[in-house]
Structure 1
């Protein structure tokens, strides 16, 4: 029985999703897929090609938690008919148990046409959050060729999941420090007012202990005189010099 064209168009996205995330127990085998005369590779723009091509025993590609990982899919079509790209995506696998750990976010393209002898580059990125470990990264592209859905593996190697580097000037850490400081200050204020304020006595200063200001005697500005009672006597009496004394004695002798 032939499926109507409109129904086939409706089922294509579901079929592509099933091809992309169909199994959680077996790592997709590229040899089980139909052979197409194409070349497909996945590269990481933020990592040099020499490091990407290192074998699985030395995971050079690092998936940093919380930071997007950029991937570039490069597809070249050497078939006699055009190929349509339906979606790209991937998954993370436990290499030792051959079990899917997590499916990555898929990017649906809606059938981007790649004519004969033409190339296309499709950007893709995903964000990972998991415990640091070595894990198998599988990146695939879902193609439609002559009405058939084909999943082609672009990358299938071991990568390392690492934590993002921390800095003291990180805005998130600064905001966290601010929240902690406000919380500690408010907690201390609450504890003091609730329990310590009633236990610790507050000593009040009496009025007798307060320093008293002594107002100096006012100057007698109207008469041009001033109060001499508080000035020492030796400052008021002018000293007589020896010359003045000898002159006074001479005048007495002449008399």
Structure 2
């Protein structure tokens, strides 16, 4: 089944909402693949959806097989929509992908954490606040969720690790990349004691447009979102907007 989830996600022109519609209307990806030439529009599934399924099959399947092999070689775990690890609070969100690429430990409560985000060039007070907040979350046994960026993100991840907590880094690139490069050791430490997750397959470099997409996942996984030292043009605004859409608690520090 894993291969068919990757295949569906590889089809050009389809995105999260389309993936959810197709699964809702036609069942699991294997059934969609096997019956793709016979499917007719129904419910929210349009003729356009079905044309994309039919026209993109061969190329998408070859790409999916390569991704699956790359994941196997690199020890990357795939969390599928149907898996128990893909908890209800994210399965029901049509903005979320239908699979994640992961490395590290997938704990039972990984989809219920505390997001800590903020400025990359934060003030000394912002740094202190990020560290203090992360330690408090560890003491309350909450996963600390952030995006591996400079500043608030890295201070939060590091504080969680140093105090024996569990931290999740949501990446805007494939798990085999590291951005920024100077966070290589931090990324390795998270893989050893926490969890790296990405909606992007291995081999995907960091791109500017990936990070707003990453931010919605940080918001979706966070029961509460702490916002620290935010600047006027900060990219954290997309995380805040997503958290507001999802009805999350937001605390400005």
Larger Cα-atom Rg: 1
Higher share in strand: 1
Higher share in helix: 2
TM-score (norm 1): 0.21
TM-score (norm 2): 0.21
